[in-house]
Amino acid sequence: MPLLTLFVTGTAPRSQRARVNLAQMLNRIGRSDIQPYEIDLLEQPGQGITHSVFATPSLVKANETGEVSVLYGDLSDEERLSHFLADLARSG
């Protein structure tokens, strides 16, 4: 699984907000170089079951040891999103 995977449902408003909020936060923490992999569950519904994601939008983060964390919602809570991505932030 890629480092960040964003599960969405097409062009639904919450999915669109999640895309924008994630891109803005990655830019803010100095990681605009990270391109999240996106899975649209309208096009690939089986991927939700494969990855145990049953609500969208959902942001899944995998680390190098295979540990997975999930953040649900449109990612509009900046504090929660910042904390979720804190290990990816560039220092300096």
Side-chain-side CA neighbours of residue 7 (13 Å): 25
What total of structural domains would you count in the chain? 1
Range of the domain at 57: 4-88
pLDDT of the residue at 92:
43
Strand 37-40, strand 4-8: pairing: parallel
The CATH number for 33's domain is 3.40.30.10
54, 48 contact by CB (below 8 A): yes
pLDDT of the residue at 64:
82
Residue-wise pLDDT tens digits, 30-82: 999 999 999 999 999 999 999 999 899 999 999 888 889 999 999 999 999 99
pLDDT of the residue at 75:
98
pLDDT of the residue at 91:
54
The tokens for 62 are: 């995998």
- Least confident range from 7-11, 53-57, 79-83, 88-92: namely 88-92
